[in-house]
Structure 1
Amino acid sequence: MIKVIRVDHRLLHGQVIFSWTKFANIERVIVIDTATANDDFKKMSLKLAKPEDVRLNVFSVDKAISKIDQIKALKDNIMLLFENVAELSKFIAAYGSVDEINYGLIPSKPNAKRFSNAIYLTPEEVKLTKEMCDKGIKISMQQVPSANKELLNNII
């Protein structure tokens, strides 16, 4: 069962490892990022960083889409972790209905608009986020579970 869907360009790092996995009792993290899936060093680093009791899968977005039925059938408490909004949007379009997505850290880049201390979206990312909002998905901005949750839907 998918418990958390998060976009964080750092992927598996301290906040995810110590806060989110404990908060949501995560048993499996599925990183969906094409660049990482094609980089053996990054994959090895993620395997070393993950908590010992948490399973890890790393897939390109296309591979994850091909495994949607298998992902849906998993009994584990799952966190889907994306590096960027574009691959998140592509996966969600194929996956179907989800209730909420957490935007954790999306760094500043050229032409990006600031939505919080940690969320900067380009015009394309704003467009993709609005499309997900229009499907009824709540997009929350929250660094750690104990922090105040802001809905991006209300300000985008």
Structure 2
Amino acid sequence: MPMEIRLVRIDDRLIHGQVATVWAKVTKVNRILVVSDDVAKDILRKTLLKQASPPGVIVNVITIDKMISIFNDPKFNDFKSMLLFTSPRDARRVVEGGVKLDTINIGGMSFSDGKKMITNAVAVNSEDIEDLKYLNEQGIKLEIRKVVADNKVYMMDLLKKEKMI
């Protein structure tokens, strides 16, 4: 039995108040895995993320390849994990590497040049849309929810409504 993944979230802010307190409590995780090649190389950011961990939860910042390699490793079977990604591209790469995901929660994707705001917290560009379409085609539910109490908005429905797919 592979590692138990209780929440997968794309949020470019990674660990912030909501994740650290509410999501970790609701999902009863004992591990937060920040999966990002960029963040794994950034010593300062890694240190800050580890310091932001909620009580009783260990934070690890790992590369995409590391996530793929540990997913089926029995050493990690006691992990009740939350996976945090900064982008749909990183989530897609993990899935392409054989990690099984059922649902991805999308919390925040910041606006930058070339992106279009589709909610007050989510902006996408054509690369994001391609990656989200790929994840959807793998049978993964893509729901936008900033906080636990928010109603689920399904990403693909929103992209259709916005005439982006």
Is TM (by shorter chain) over 0.5? yes
The 3 A distance-change label for structure 1 pair 96 and 67 is: closer
Please state if 1:76 is matched with 2:89.
no
Selected match of 1:138 from 137, 141, 145: 141
Question: 1:8 aligned to 6, 11, 27, which one?
Answer: 11
Could you tell me which amino acid in structure 1 is paired with residue 101 of structure 2?
A: V
Residue in structure 2 matched with residue 127 of structure 1 by the alignment: 130
Within 2, Cα distance between the matches of 1:9 and 1:113? 16
Q: CA RMSD in A?
A: 1.6
Q: With the length of structure 2 as denominator, give the TM-score of the two structures.
A: 0.88
Specify the code of the residue in structure 2 equivalent to 1:32.
V
* SS in structure 1 of the partner of residue 38 of structure 2: helix
Cα distance per residue 1:121-140 (max 9 Å; x no partner): 11011011011111211100
The alignment partner of 2:60 has SS state of: strand
**TM-score normalised according to structure 1 size:** 0.93
Mapped partners of 1:108, 1:83: distance in 2: 13
- 1:96-135 matched pairs, under 5 angstroms: 96-135=99-138
What's the offset of the Cα at 1:55? 1.3
Deviating runs (4+, > 4 A) in structure 1?
none
SS at match of 1:95: coil
Tell me: CA distance 1:71–1:125, structure 2 relative to 1, closer, same or farther (3 Å).
Answer: farther
Structure 2 stretches of 5 or more lacking a match?
160-165
Note the C-alpha offset of 1:70. 2.5
Per-residue CA deviation, residues 13-51 of structure 1 (Å, 9 max, x unaligned), is 111001100111111100001111111111111111101
What number of residue pairs does the alignment pair up? 156
- Identity across the alignment (%): 30
- Structure 2 CA distance, aligned partners of 1:51 and 1:145? 16
Contact 2:68 2:99 in 1 (8 A): no
- Residue 88 of structure 1 aligns to a residue whose secondary structure is helix
SS for the counterpart of 2:131 is: helix
Residue 57 of structure 2 corresponds to 54
Task: Name the SS of the counterpart of 2:34 in structure 1.
Answer: strand
